[in-house]
Amino acid sequence: MGYLKKFIYIFTDRRQQLVILVAVFLTTSFLEAFGIGLIGPFLSIVENPSLINSNPIANKVYTQLQLQSNSQFIILSGLFIIGVFAIKSTAYLSGKFYTFKTILNQKATIRERLFSAYMLAPYEFHLGRNSADFVNKIVGEANRFTNLVALPLVELCSQTIVVIILVGLMARTNIVLVLVVLFTLLPAFLGFLVLSKRLKQWGQSSSQARKQTLKAVSHGLGGLKETRVVGCEAYFQKELHQHVRQEAAMEIRFKSAQVLPRTLIEALLIVAIVGFVCLSQFLLEQSFQSVISTMGVFAVAALRLVPASSQIVQSLGMLRNSIYTLDSLYLDLKEIETQKLIQPYPENSSAKIFSFKDSLELKDITYRYPTAKSFSLNKISMEIKRGESIGLIGSSGAGKTTLVDVILNLLTPEFGDIQVDGKSIYKNLSGWQKLVGYIPQSIFLLDDTIEQNIAFGIPKHDIDSDRLGYAIKAAQLETLIQDLPQGTHTSVGERGVRLSGGQRQRIGIARALYHQREILVLDEATSALDNETERLISDSITALAGSKTLIIIAHRLTTVEHCDRIYVLEKGQVARSGKYQDVIPTNA
């Protein structure tokens, strides 16, 4: 029941369609059993037409239709059986189409649900996770859930209904036949029980190996330049080899185990046929005619019983193999459910933008990471006037980046408040988000055009050319754009590999300006650049002073020497603040 409960939780959007699927399976199964049930009497009548007169139902049909001969009755009976199977086949195909439509649409829904959940999960949730794990869940595990959980579970229900009805039909025809069949199928199911625990282990090992494979690919190709320079290609190749071979080994075992049920069931049913004929003739002394009639039903039923039985065992194997997949998706969704998801910002929310005319004030900001014992920020207060530029400096671990993450609303303080012109940002977070821009040390660039990277998150047809031109000019990108044959339509390559470090930083600045952010937070925005490029970028930033409010984190003191005010952080507190010459020793 725990397995089914988790499945229904993940399948939450299409529960009603599951009920429809079960109804379709019941209908097709009854039609199939009804058609198969007619085979025995039909064969008996073909072999002995006089049975038409002795059988009340057959005789009534013969009379009502005013037939002239037994041959006409036999032909019409055959056509009727063909019609039943034609209707059954049509219903079966329709049911299969509906099944695939439901399950595969659900896979898309699960992927969207996971992606949205990860995107809207609190920032702390991402701090302890690897992006390869998210990719594996959205791409790999969602696909495994479809192929190894949802489809097998649906097949299990469908084929179980078929087997129950067929066994019931055969029991009505000959109870000895049923006992022989069940007895011969028993070893196949016992074999599954023996393999059950190993199937689960193989599925878990396969999923973990797949996740590690994604990590190895991400690390090796993501840092290709560093990998080439250091010369450690063999390390990543060896790491990938280990994980892909482990996954292959688990898949080989699982696929081989999947072949076993059908092979075993087919062999056992041959034994059952021979055994039943021998038992009927020599021990029960049944007439050959009655055996032929019974065997006719059995032969047609076996055509469905063999694949149905083997499909049941295979489905059970898949469900055992995919327990880790089901658990990982279920636990992730459950964990995110307990988190306070951020609310996506409305597309048309201009009316809610903060009116920033006077000052930004941080009041007693206090924050502690979920697993930490001590506070990373402890009652930090500061006031920033509109148009001012302030610098945040301090040693590593002093709390600079944590403070910026709080300002960016990535982290929510335990105590304290951030106010714009006396109004708390936490009463209008979407408005605050439209006020703040972020320029990190390493700018994330899409594998797309310069235009799309500047207008980050805006569809191509909605890009404002005037705003784009202003952002390019203010970020001093005009020369670069003019030198490129395709201008703003030039592709920057994956992670901006076709651009220099300074050019990437300028695109980051242009991005913040395009989105018309009044407050710009620069987190070590020039620390990775050479001195000349840093000077040029610093000039671009300095040119924004007065028109934009700047919050600058820096290790290089030269980056903040032109700031209106500097705050020195130590152990999560403001140690001192003031003009550059007041807080920085002359020999620094």
Concatenating the DSSP letter of every residue in 249-280 gives: HHHHHHHHHHHHHHHHHHHHHHHHHHHHHHII
Question: How does pLDDT run across 31-78, given as a tens digit for each residue?
Answer: 777 777 777 677 777 777 877 777 788 788 778 887 778 888 888 888
Distances in Å between the Cα of 494 and the Cα atoms of 140, 439, 490 are 23, 19, 13
pTM of the model: 0.69
Residue carrying structure tokens 């085979």: 39
Q: Which residues pair with 549 in a beta bridge?
A: 519
Model confidence at 29: pLDDT above 70? yes
Give the per-residue pLDDT at 544: 67
Residue ranges, CATH 1.20.1560.10, the chain: 3-342
CA torsion through residues 223, 229, 230, 235, sign: positive
Query: What is the CATH topology of the domain spanning 359-582?
Result: Rossmann fold (3.40.50)
Question: How does pLDDT run across 299-325, given as a tens digit for each residue?
Answer: 666 667 777 777 787 788 888 888 888
> For the chain, what is the mean pLDDT?
78
| Amino acid sitting at position 213 | T
Residue ranges, CATH 3.40.50.300, the chain: 359-582
Burial of 319 (0-12, 13-18, 19+ CB in 10 A): buried
Pick the range with the lowest mean pLDDT from 109-118, 275-284, 463-472.
275-284
Is it true that domain 3-342 has CATH number 1.20.1560.10? yes
Give the per-residue pLDDT at 226: 58
Distance separating alpha carbons of residues 260 and 522, to the nearest angstrom = 62
Model confidence at 111: pLDDT above 80? yes
Give the per-residue pLDDT at 144: 85
Mean pLDDT of 485-490: 86
Mean pLDDT of 415-436: 86
Give the per-residue pLDDT at 281: 58
Structure tokens, 171: 């029991």
